[in-house]
Amino acid sequence: MSTAAVTSKGQITIPLEVRKKLGIKPGDRVRFIEGEKGEYVLKPKTGSIKDLEGCVRWTGKPVTIEEMNETIAKGWAGLLTFED
């Protein structure tokens, strides 16, 4: 079992064997997840598309996939030019 001391600033150094097993590298972020009995689990925080949820607000009306595809096609049509 690995242990770590807490500094006066509340910091700890994650032991090397734990970092290796979790695949944690310098600069990575970790999550502390509280269990049902008050214990905490340390997990590496991985990027997810869900992390972007709420970062852009859409105030327009909902559009269908077909409308999106049509708009994309129009955009591409404006970018493509054919020279003789």
What integer is the mean pLDDT of 60-82? Answer: 82
Q: Would you say residue 42 lies in a domain?
A: yes
Considering only residues 56 and 47, tell me which one the structure prediction assigns the higher pLDDT: 56
Whole-number pLDDT of residue 82 = 58
pTM of the predicted protein model? 0.50
Q: Would you say residue 4 lies in a domain?
A: no
Q: Would you say residue 45 lies in a domain?
A: yes
Q: Would you say residue 21 lies in a domain?
A: yes
Burial 48-60 (b: 16+ CB within 10 A, else e): eeeeeeeeeeeee
pLDDT tens, position by position, 6-34: 999 999 999 999 999 999 999 888 999 99
Distance (Å, rounded) from C-alpha 33 to C-alpha 56? 27
Domain that holds residue 43: 16-49
Q: Would you say residue 65 lies in a domain?
A: no
Q: Would you say residue 56 lies in a domain?
A: no
Q: Would you say residue 79 lies in a domain?
A: no
Total domains, the chain = 1
Distance (Å, rounded) from C-alpha 66 to C-alpha 74? 12
Q: Would you say residue 67 lies in a domain?
A: no
